Amino acid sequence: MDEQLDRIMSEDAGRLLGGGSWREIVLALDEGIHIVDQQARTILYNHSAGRMDGLRPEEVLDRSIFEVFPSLTFENSTLMQTLKSGKEVSQSQQTFVNMKGEQITTVNKTVPVIFSGGSRGAMEISRDITLIQELAENISSLRNRFSSERSAETSATGSQETKSRFKSNNTSYTFADLVGENREFKKVMNDAVRAAGSDSSVLIIGETGTGKELFAQGIHNASSRAAQPFIAQNCAALPRELLESLLFGAEKGSFTGAATRPGLFEQASGGTILLDEINSLDYDLQAKLLRVLQEGKVRRVGGQQEKEVDVRVLATMNQPPEEAFAAGSLRQDLFYRLSVICLSLPPLRRRRDDIPLLLDHFFELYNSRFNRRLEGITAQLKRALLKYDWPGNVRELQHMIECGFNLVSQERRIGLDSLPLHQREKLSNLKEASSNNLAAPLLQGEIPELESYLAQVEKKMIIRALNQSGGNKTDAGKMLGISRQSLQYKLKKYHLE
Ligand SMILES: Nc1ncnc2c1ncn2[C@@H]1O[C@H](COP(=O)(O)OP(=O)(O)OP(=O)(O)O)[C@@H](O)[C@H]1O
Ligand SMILES: [Mg+2]
């Protein structure tokens, strides 16, 4: 047998791994590996495969698979299908009761192999996702229970209070919670308000902490679907199989023994589903999602029938689409289908003029939450905040203020001293880096709104020229190559007077 096995490894692999050590690796893998020869006789069967099937390798090795697994037929055995066709078979999910009577769910892939003598075989690679499957069911039922408890709570407390009205649909924000007067931000807000009036998909693009979730909830709550559920699902955090059965549901069927359970699409019926970090969704699942969007129907994993669903889809991503295409993480067809309306949220460093407003907003919030009466921040801290680049955007600002509220003692204002060391350090070391930048640095591939970006550059150039001319407008105008009147006009425009 060893001889035969040695021959299914490439010469390179054999050389690299050394005498027989590759075999130990295969035997130690968490994935189940099952290799048969052309007569469907098992020539390799590792411990993981045995664990899943409830068998010991010696019960399987050197025997025909039909002898060991009596329920297998020529037609339903994927190893046989691959032997016959010479083609790979991918089976998304399979649930079965093993020889020990345990119910196991696996994801399998069967690939053809050619031994060096030219004879053919097949290899099945299986991943045990039984625990993941159970987790999916637990998450799903917890989500349902949580949602119905919330509804009960809301109807018990009455619906006079705005917040509690929204709690019943799983959200806590409306457009009114979005703070910002910056031009670029206002423009996106207006687009979002318009989007709320339509039923098209919306793609919200923005760096972390720019308010994507707030915009999504705002759109849902201002839409005709507001009374229906809002369900958000992060696409990055979960393995593909779990996400697939969470999104589309699972059906107790011939293959999947998992409990019959509707997916999030069905649960969000009549409402909105938010797919967070869509560019992290498994590439194949993106194709399945595209079909659901195009046809308005879902089919549960392991199910036969398609069910119509009326769900509005919102999606978010935190990198520019071109980057996601280049990285191969986002299907272009899905992107075009999702971005019927596309909202691009500006990072905080491109709307620094909103920092004072946001500070007021968070002071109001935390004064009430901490039962304090702090007046604001010191002038020194404000200067630093206006210069800082805010990689974590509004969330970072909010956390910084919350930190300050926790650490400030007698003072009425939060200063650099009331911030933890790591925050103090990043705010104290800004000086030159930021003042030398004429405009906020851009992410690779990021395209800002041209007018507002150029305005930032213009404003900084004017300030620099005025500083160098000691405030003399004629000289500053000369340096910039514009007339005094023109400079005067720009000073007014940018409130620099
Ligand atoms: N315009 C805004 N006005 C008020 N608060 C805001 C605004 N934008 C963001 N926030 C605050 O910042 C926090 C982060 O926002 P949100 O969760 O929407 O970010 P996100 O873009 O979804 O980030 P991530 O990509 O990390 O999920 C929110 O809890 C909210 O309090
Ligand atoms: Mg988010």
pLDDT tens string, the chain, 497 residues long: the values are 444 444 344 454 444 445 556 677 887 889 999 999 999 999 888 889 999 999 988 889 889 999 988 888 888 888 999 999 999 988 767 778 888 888 888 888 999 988 777 788 999 999 998 888 788 778 877 877 776 676 666 555 544 444 444 556 778 899 999 999 999 999 999 999 999 999 999 999 999 999 999 999 999 999 999 999 999 999 987 778 888 888 998 877 544 445 678 889 999 999 999 999 999 999 989 999 999 999 999 998 878 889 999 999 999 999 999 899 988 899 999 999 999 999 999 999 999 999 999 999 999 999 999 999 999 999 989 989 998 999 999 999 999 999 999 988 887 899 988 888 888 888 887 654 444 566 666 666 667 778 878 888 888 888 888 877 878 888 889 889 898 888 988 888 887 77
Q: Are residues 8 and 54 in the same domain?
A: yes
Establish whether residue 398 lines the binding site of ligand 1, counting it when its CB lies within 6 angstroms of any ligand atom.
Answer: yes
Centre a 10 Å sphere on the Cβ of residue 268 and count the other Cβ atoms it contains: 26
Atom 18 (ligand 1): residue with closest C-alpha?
Answer: 211
End-of-domain residue from the set 292, 313, 344? 344
Predicted local confidence at residue 17, as pLDDT: 45
CB 126 within 8 A of CB 31: yes
Q: Is 182 in the pocket of ligand 1 (CB under 6 A)?
A: no
Cβ of 247 closer than 6 Å to ligand 1, yes or no, is no
Task: Determine which residue's CA is closest to atom 12 belonging to ligand 1.
Answer: 395
Residue 219 resides in a domain:
yes
Q: Is residue 443 part of a domain?
A: no
Give the pLDDT score at 479: 85
CATH for 116: 3.30.450.20
Which of 204, 205, 213 is the best mutation target for the ligand 1 pocket, counting ligand atoms within 8 Å of the beta carbon and taking the most? 213
Check which CATH number belongs to the domain holding 296 and give it: 3.40.50.300
Which atom belonging to ligand 1 lies closest to the Cα atom of 216? 18
- Span from the CA of 216 to the centroid of ligand 2 (angstroms): 9
| pTM (global) more than 0.75 | no
- Tell whether ligand 1 has an atom less than 6 A from the beta carbon of residue 263: no
Residue 307 placed within a domain: yes
Per-residue confidence (pLDDT) for residue 174, from 0 to 100? 94
CA–centroid distance for 484 within its chain: 51
- 271 C-beta closer than 6 A to ligand 1: no
At 253, list the tokens.
């069927």
Q: State whether 8 and 116 are in the same domain.
A: yes
Domain's final residue, options 105, 128, 151: 128
Closest CA to 198 of 176, 219, 213, 217: 219
| The pLDDT value given to residue 366 | 95
Ligand 1 atom with the smallest distance to the CA of 318 is 25
In a domain, 177, yes or no: yes
Quick count: other Cβ atoms within 10 Å of Cβ 100? 10
267 close to 139: Cβ distance less than 8 angstroms: no
Kindly give the distance from the C-alpha atom of residue 173 to the centroid of ligand 1, in angstroms, as a whole number.
10
* 371 and 321 within one domain: no
Of 298, 327, 344, which marks where a domain is finished? 344
Residue 179 lies in a domain: yes
Q: What is the pLDDT of residue 140?
A: 76
Taking the C-alpha atoms of residue 234 and residue 312, their distance in angstroms, rounded to an integer, is 16
Question: How do residues 75-110 score in pLDDT, each as one tens digit?
Answer: 888 899 999 999 998 876 777 888 888 888 888 899
In a domain, 441, yes or no: no
- Verify that 214 and 335 share a domain, yes or no: yes
φ and ψ of 44, to 5 deg: -145, 135
Closest Cα to residue 386, out of 452, 431, 448, 449?
A: 431
Distance 317 CA to ligand 2 centre (A): 9
Instruction: Report the residue among 235, 394, 401, 402 best suited for mutation to probe ligand 1: largest number of ligand atoms under 8 A from its CB.
Output: 394
Confirm whether 445 is domain-assigned. no
Tell me, yes or no, whether 246 and 368 share the same domain: no
Task: Return the best residue to mutate from 210, 230, 390 for the ligand 1 pocket (most ligand atoms within 8 A of CB).
Answer: 210
Packing angle, helices 355-370 and 379-387, rounded to 10: 130
Question: Quick one: 158 and 275 in the same domain?
Answer: yes
Residue 54 contacts residue 44 (beta carbons within 8 Å): no
Q: For residue 367, give the CATH number of its domain.
A: 1.10.8.60
Residues 232 and 320 in one domain: yes
- Whether residue 424 sits in one domain with residue 463: no
Amino acid type, 6:
D
Q: How many angstroms separate the CA atoms of 175 and 12, rounded? A: 60
CB of residue 212 inside a 6 A radius of ligand 1: yes
Q: Which residues, in sequence order, are CB contacts of 118 under 8 Å at separation 6+?
A: none
**Angstrom distance (rounded) from CA 4 to CA 140:** 47
Q: Is residue 14 part of a domain?
A: yes
Q: Which residue range(s) make up the domain with 409?
A: 348-436
Angstrom distances, CA of residue 137 to CA of 97, 132, 142, 245: 18, 9, 8, 9
Question: For the segment 329-374, what is each residue's pLDDT rounded down to a tens digit?
Answer: 999 999 999 999 999 999 999 999 999 999 999 999 999 999 999 9
Residue 178 CB–ligand 1 contact under 6 Å = yes
Residue 257, token pair as written in the block: 């023994």
Distance 215 CA to ligand 1 centre (A): 9
Tell how far the Cα of 173 is from the centroid of ligand 2, in angstroms: 13
d(CA 100, CA 93): 20
Given ligand 1 and candidates 189, 214, 443, which is best to mutate, with the most ligand atoms within 8 Å of its CB?
214
Would you say the CB of residue 343 lies under 6 angstroms from ligand 1? Answer: no
Give 232 Cα–ligand 1 centroid separation in angstroms: 15
**286 and 184 assigned to the same domain:** yes
Taking the centre of ligand 1 as the mean of its atom positions, its distance from the CA of residue 349, in whole angstroms, is 14
Residues 53 and 144 in one domain: no
208 lines ligand 1 (CB under 6 A): yes
Cα within 13 Å of Cα(468), Cβ side = 12
Taking the centre of ligand 1 as the mean of its atom positions, its distance from the CA of residue 151, in whole angstroms, is 25
397 and 428 share one domain: yes
Cα–Cα distance for residue pair 253/241, rounded to 1 Å: 17
CATH number for the domain spanning 457: value is: 1.10.10.60
206 pocket-lining for ligand 1 (C-beta < 6 Å): yes
In the three-class reduction of DSSP (H, G, I as helix; E, B as strand; rest coil), residue 286 is classed as helix
The total number of structural domains in the chain stands at 4
Same structural domain, 216 and 323: yes
